[in-house]
Structure 1
Amino acid sequence: MKMNAIFALLLSTLFMSSGVARETVFYISGTVRDTSGRGVRDVVVNDGVNFTRTDNQGRWSLRTDTVVSKYISISTPAAYRLPSSDGIASGFYCRVGQAIAGKCDFTLEHRKTVADRFHYIAISDPQVGTHEDMRRWRLETMRDIRHSVDSLNHDAEVVGIALGDMVFDNMPLYADYIESVKNTGMTMFHCIGNHDFDCRWQDLHNMRLGTPVYGEMEYNRHFGPTDYSFNIGRAHVITLKNIDYAGNKKYQELITDQQIAWLKRDLSYVPKGSLVILNMHATGWNTGEENDNIRNARQLEEALSGYRVHVFCGHTHLYQNVEVNGNLYQHNIGAACGAWWKGKINRCGTPNGYLIVDVDGKDVRWHYKSTGYPLSHQMYVYKPGEFASQPGCVVANIWDYDSGCRVSWYQDGKYMGTMERFTAVDDQYGSHFSRCGSCAATSHLFRCHPQGRFKKIRVVFINRFGEQYSASLYNKE
């Protein structure tokens, strides 16, 4: 097989008039084996374009165009542990250059028990741009996350995903970021965001064919391919780049046609009706700031048709749940850095934080974890007169609201009904950061008008899982 690869290289290498190689195609082969050396059959292998499965001996082969494909990766089966090094996902991919030099072999470790249940921690936009940002990320966010992982690990495996913008256009900070997420007790995966590219270059598909440099090279060096998948429990998990990067911090939110084709090929190995978790950086279906959505969300929705899908994304520095259709739910998660580490809230008033997702078979439940607060902190309530645009009203900001939730209120112990939902700029954010020009109207605000004098107002939030949270205001007059 190695001689075939060399022969293919000689036959397929074409030269332009300048003598620079324009296209090189290889036949690349390898194996997937378990830790005892036995071949693992039916493992899906891809090079970013072409797919295959391992045979009964765990062998695979792909015809790979190295101008287009830079990585070979496997979709780890649910019966095997997710490969990692120091708690960061690795060992599921191989650089094409390494594969050409020798065989591209993967080793998987059998799980002692295969469970349907696991925890999933989704983190949006750490976006560390300075050493002060890094200090806060380590001491605030990661300290909180490590405590959560320690607690969650008692009853199920924990998997983490950073949904892009790990750094803020500052490539040297990757090293510090990586140190900060090592050995957390969970397997940590990554997704590329618009600030994770080296701004000197466009991304690979926008550069000239055969380019030796491209925008996602630094990300690739640390985390491997931008598009990949794995399996855990009864879920198929996909991470997909959705930033079309033009260099010099310019981009558009877009999934290329080639990536849509890759997604369809990846899903062709997954039975219809399965639970699919999709990680991507930019949103697909937000309302209110549609310009931040990917340009071809409809095309993505069609590709996901027939599966039960939860999409986790960031990018906007606000929190919004979107029920796209009966089988497609988007979680736009509040940023870990909030409003770029200016304070402790996002543009919609949601505290800095991350999402804890509990998956049991096909059942998916989630809770937003505000950094530095207990998990029960699910709302912020303004006293009458504190929310400038709503004089006389009690206002509740309930970030994890969706149509399956209920928000009601009580005055001095008496049930007064449901609170009225409205859209506005959160007052905490607007009063402190309006000068930055980054205010965002949010629709997870609720108001009520107390009747006369009161001693106590109680706001009750019941989420779609029937869990109840409450917050109370007291009038000391």
Structure 2
Amino acid sequence: MKKLFTLLTVLSLSCALLCISGCEDSGDTVYVDEGRLVSDVVIDTSMEVFEGMTISIEGQGFESGDRMLLRAETDIEMETEVSASDALAFTLPEEIEDGHTYKFVLVRGDDYQVLGASTLTVKLVINVDLGGTISASWEGPAVIRGEGFRATDVLVLSQGDDSWEITPSEVDDLSLTFIVPAGVAEGESSFTLRRGTESQELGTADLFLSTSAVVPDKEGMTIKGIVHANGRGIADVLVSDGDLITRTDENGFYWLASEKRNALAFVILPSGYDVPTSKAMPQFWKPCTLDASTCEQLDFKLIPTQNDNHTMLVATDMHLANRNTPLDYVQFGDGFVKEITTTYNAAAGKVYMLNLGDFSWDLYWYSNKWALPECKAAIADFNFQVWSVMGNHDNDPYVANDFGAEVPYRQYMGPVYYAMNIGQIHYIMLDDTEYTNDGGSQGVIGDREYNRRFDAKQLAWLREELKYVDNKSTPIVVGAHCPLYNYSSINNVTTAVTNVSEVLSCFDGFTDVTFVTGHTHVNRNIQSPSFSNVYEQNVAAVCGTWWWTDQYAGINVCTDGSPAGYKIFTVNGTDFKWQYKGVGLPVERQFMTYDMNEVKSYWATNEKAQQAFDSGNLPNRRNDYSSVGDNEVYINVWAYEPGWDITVTENDRELEVSKVWKRDPLHTISYDIPRGVSNSLTFPSTYCPHMFSVTASSENSTLEISVTDRFGNVYSESMTRPKELDTSF
């Protein structure tokens, strides 16, 4: 006789009496208890399952001989085992169809009982847990947790355009074990399971790999490891902890008697190799996780590469802080990131980037919940390595000493000073900000002040590191945040870092040393007045004027009138050339022209300018160009440096070009004036050392302007006058 049972929706999975190996908690269950065949049974209304999966149901009153049917359009009868009166187990057959809703029907002789209904999602495997990271060794075993794996499955491991098909070495009820191929790199990896014609994406995880080599301990050594390519040791590679430097032996082994002051170790990349990359971050360093008295093994993987010819992008002062209108990271993504990824992610040659600091903005770390991890995420789509130094704004504002304030940087970005050989260029990244931050304490932001200097421990490390550069003609590029030098007037150079001579004397004997720096948000190129082998390129900011001018004028412009941008270094062997590139502008745009008749008229008649001048927020700015004569033209050559040539002709007559010490009109009308109407001025236009003047014979003549850089590139403009002053490039 058939019986009717009522289905009641009750209980949560936490009190579920149906035990399904590996099912997910749907939070929606059906409970039946009519006191007939069985009672106290709970069925999830949806389950993830796999073919051949054994399901165990708990309840009260099961008997030997009970059968289980899955009822949809047709009944599916399954092999059933009753091990006790409170449990029944059955195995899902191959006929199970994905997405169908089945009634679970218990049959005993002529009676039956509907225990519940569930929608089944059929997968190859369920409950896969990659754990976020997989730690293993090359050609060693690694484990993926999950249920339903088969020995005949194929695991596909993918990294970018590369993939490996791997036959599992072992499977059991709860895991799959595979051998990591020798050619796999550390970093983010995707995993897919293939079974015949079917496949299932398992997810992504970061691979942290070491070699199977065991580096023997040595007395007094606290860090050891191997530097290798595909698991084979490489001799004569330098490894450092930021205090000590050592070489690997013939096996690629190294040892350091480290005090672990910096809580990390890093490899000094040798020529002819690269390091793995994870979301644009070069994997050249590893953190120490044990105490200073305990020896730990930190291994480094290198990748043989041909990078003698490469492109090095130099960018600085991104100042991402989750602020401004539009939000800074939105401007950053829509402008700089979009341009860089479009141009360089699929570039044919090797591409790298130097990030010269102020990646973040310490003032907003805690209030806006935007610090170094969020900044890293903003460039994760770069398909090349970004090598970084820290700026003054990359320190923890809750800490009132330099070393302590650097801890988050070392945690998320790596060492604050280090070196690497990329091709035939020796790059050194240094830290020249000493963060004092008076008043800072946990939960309290200090004054965020700092000194511009290189500390003694860093200089000692630098002197030691340079001993390993055998060829003194090797081109050296040094990245740092704060500039070595400033202009105090049109031709007067002053030092900006207190111990410039101390750091530059480290490079005695080297013939070609280029410093690339940021911090100022302007373009300046300065030959060291005291060290003939040192040339500094101070690069303007990616953020322009701290992301303000897009709100006021629809453009991103720096305080010297340069467009927000970066430098492109094109390296061929030991020879390199460079150009400044404004974001959103063609590289052929290298200067801006101003018809000063129109500029002076704007200063005298523009309504907003008058409001700003009358506000008191721009003292004496009404007189910016009062000394400028009639028919003068200004030419702001953003990246001008010694060796450039500027020629201007009017009706085939060459005009005399002179350098002037003036503010840039475009920045003034894009920031100073609109902000000065109602606010005090925090980032005013600066006097720039790359402004030039000519005087035309009339107010409406056309000038032919030609600028030739030191590498022979010619940039030109036919300037039709009068030329209106507006907020555009």
Shorter-normalised TM range: 0.7 to 0.9
Using a 3 Å threshold, how does the CA distance of structure 1 residues 3 and 108 change in structure 2: closer, same or farther? closer
Deviations 1:243-264 (A, max 9, x none): 1011221111110111111111
Q: Does 1:223 align with 2:413?
A: yes
Aligned equivalents of 1:337 and 1:84: distance in 2?
A: 25
Residue 253 of structure 1 corresponds to 452
1:462 to 684, 699, 708: 708
Residue 187 of structure 1 aligns with which residue? 385
Distance 1:70 1:150 in 2: 33
1:69 aligns with 2:262: yes
Do structure 1's residue 266 and structure 2's residue 449 form an aligned pair? no
Q: What displacement does 1:454 show?
A: 4.3
What is the 5 A alignment of 1:42-121? 42-66=236-260, 68-90=261-283, 92-97=284-289, 100=294, 102-111=296-305, 114-121=306-313
**Structure-2 separation of matches of 1:440 and 1:366:** 24
- Find the counterpart in structure 2 of residue 471 from structure 1: 717
Counterpart selection for 2:690 from 444, 448, 453: 444
Q: CA deviation at 1:2?
A: 9.2
Q: Where in structure 2 are the equivalents of 1:382-421 lying within 5 Å?
A: 382-388=594-600, 389=625, 390-391=628-629, 392-412=631-651, 414-421=652-659
Q: Distance in 2 between matches of 1:318 and 1:458?
A: 26
Tell me the distance in 2 between the aligned counterparts of 1:85 and 1:133: 24
Measured after TM superposition, the shift of residue 474 of structure 1 is: 1.1
- Structure 2 counterpart of 1:195, which letter? H
The structural deviation recorded for 1:472 is 2.2
Paired residue type of 1:342 = W
Aligned CA distance change for structure 1 residues 453 and 385 (closer, same or farther; 3 Å): closer
Q: Distance in 2 between matches of 1:95 and 1:347?
A: 39
Residue deviations 1:165-213 (CA, integer Å, cap 9, x gap)? 01111334233321221132221111100111111113454xxxxxxxx
Give the C-alpha shift of residue 28 in structure 1. 1.9
Does 2:514 align with 1:310? yes
Aligned pairs for 1:133-212 within 5 A? 133-150=328-345, 153-154=347-348, 156-169=349-362, 170-171=364-365, 172-173=369-370, 174-205=372-403
Task: Work out the CA distance in 1 between the residues paired with 2:263 and 2:496.
Answer: 27
Checking the alignment, whether the CA contact within 8 Å between 1:345 and 1:351 is kept in structure 2 is: yes
Q: Identify the residue that residue 211 of structure 1 maps to in structure 2.
A: none
SS of the counterpart of 2:597? Answer: coil
For structure 2, the residue ranges without an aligned partner over 5 or more in a row are: 1-213, 438-445, 550-555, 601-624, 724-729
Give 3-state SS (helix, strand or coil) of 1:128's partner: coil
Alignment check: 8 A CA contact 2:595 2:722 kept: no
Distance 1:282 1:468 in 2: 31
CA distance in 2, matches of 1:268, 1:293: 27
* Change in CA separation of 1:29 and 1:476 when aligned onto 2, cut-off 3 Å: closer
Query: What RMSD, in angstroms, separates the aligned Cα atoms of the two structures?
Result: 2.3
Cα 1:301–1:47, aligned 2, differ >3 Å: closer, same or farther? Answer: same
- Structure 1 residue 149, shift from structure 2 partner: 1.4
Contact 1:282 1:292 (C-alpha < 8 Å) held by counterparts: no
Distance in structure 1 (CA, Å) of the matches to 2:598 and 2:473: 47
Question: Which moves more between the two structures, 100-109 or 333-342?
Answer: 100-109
* CA pair 54-262 structure 1, distance change in 2 beyond 3 A: same
Contact 1:235/1:274 (<8 A) preserved: yes
- Say whether the 8 Å CA contact 2:400–2:436 is kept in structure 1: yes
2:599 is aligned with 1:360: no
Q: Distance in 2 between matches of 1:48 and 1:354?
A: 29
Deviation at 1:75, TM superposition (A): 0.5
Cα distance in 2 for partners of 1:82, 1:306 equals 30
Are the aligned partners of 1:45 and 1:54 in contact in 2 as well (CA < 8 Å)? yes
Higher Cα radius of gyration: 2
Change (3 A) 1:382 1:95: same
* Cα deviation 1:335-376 (Å, max 9, x = unaligned): 001111111111111110111111112212111110111111
Question: Contact 2:248/2:254 (CA < 8 Å) preserved in 1?
Answer: yes
> Residue 321 of structure 1 aligns to which amino acid in structure 2?
N
Q: Which secondary structure does the structure 1 equivalent of 2:311 belong to?
A: strand
- Letter matched to residue 470 of structure 1: S
Give me the whole-angstrom Cα distance separating, in 2, the residues matched to 1:362 and 1:237: 12
1:123 aligned residue: 315
The answer to whether the 8 Å contact 2:215/2:253 transfers is: no
Q: Give 3-state SS (helix, strand or coil) of 1:286's partner.
A: strand
Alignment of 1:224-239 (within 5 A): 224-239=414-429
1:295-374 paired onto structure 2 within 5 Å: 295-307=498-510, 308-324=512-528, 325-343=531-549, 344-374=556-586
Partner Cα distance (2:401, 2:533) in 1: 32
Query: Contact 2:235–2:250 (CA<8 Å) still a contact in 1?
Result: yes
Distance 1:281 1:204 in 2: 15
Determine if contact 2:222/2:295 at 8 Å carries over to the other structure.
no
Alignment partner, residue 497 of structure 2: 294
User: SS where residue 304 of structure 2 aligns?
Assistant: coil
CA-to-partner distance for each residue in 1:440-477, whole Å, 9 max, x for gaps? 21110001010135441121111111111012221369
Displacement of 1:294 in angstroms is 1.3
Q: Name the structure with the higher helix share.
A: 1
CA distance in 1, matches of 2:342, 2:532: 34
Tell me the CA shift for residue 417 of structure 1: 3.9
Q: Is the 8 A contact 2:593 2:635 kept in 1?
A: yes
Higher RCO (Cα < 8 Å, 6 or more apart): 1
Deviation at 1:58, TM superposition (A): 0.6
For 1:84, the aligned partner's letter is T
Q: Does 1:430 align with 2:625?
A: no
For normalisation by structure 2, the TM-score amounts to: 0.58
The normalised TM-score by structure 1 is: 0.88
Q: Does the residue aligned with 2:426 lie in a helix, a strand or coil?
A: strand
Q: Which amino acid in 2 is paired with 1:395?
A: Y
Q: Write out per-residue CA displacement over residues 147-172 of structure 1, whole angstroms, 9 at most, x where no aligned residue.
A: 33147x22x21111111001111334
Find the aligned partners of 2:571 and 2:598 in 1 and give their Cα distance.
39
State the shift of 1:98 in Å. 5.0
- One-letter amino acid matched to 2:718: S
CA distance in 2, matches of 1:422, 1:219: 41
TM superposition shift of 1:437 = 4.4
> How far has the Cα of 1:305 moved from its partner?
2.4
Cα deviation, 1:400-445, whole Å, max 9, x if unaligned, reads: 1111001110113x14144111111112223432741433211100
> 1-side partners of 2:642 and 2:479: how far apart?
23
Task: Report the 3-state secondary structure (helix = DSSP H, G, I; strand = E; otherwise coil) of the residue aligned with 1:97.
Answer: coil
Change (3 A) 1:126 1:283: same
Counterpart AA for 1:268: K
How many residues matched? Answer: 443
Q: Could you say what secondary structure the match of 2:525 adopts?
A: strand
Conservation of the 8 A alpha-carbon contact between 1:348 and 1:425: yes
Contact 1:411 1:454 in 2 (8 A): no
Q: Deviations over 1:264-311 (max 9, x none)?
A: 111111121211111100000222287882111111111122221111
1:137 aligned counterpart, secondary structure:
helix
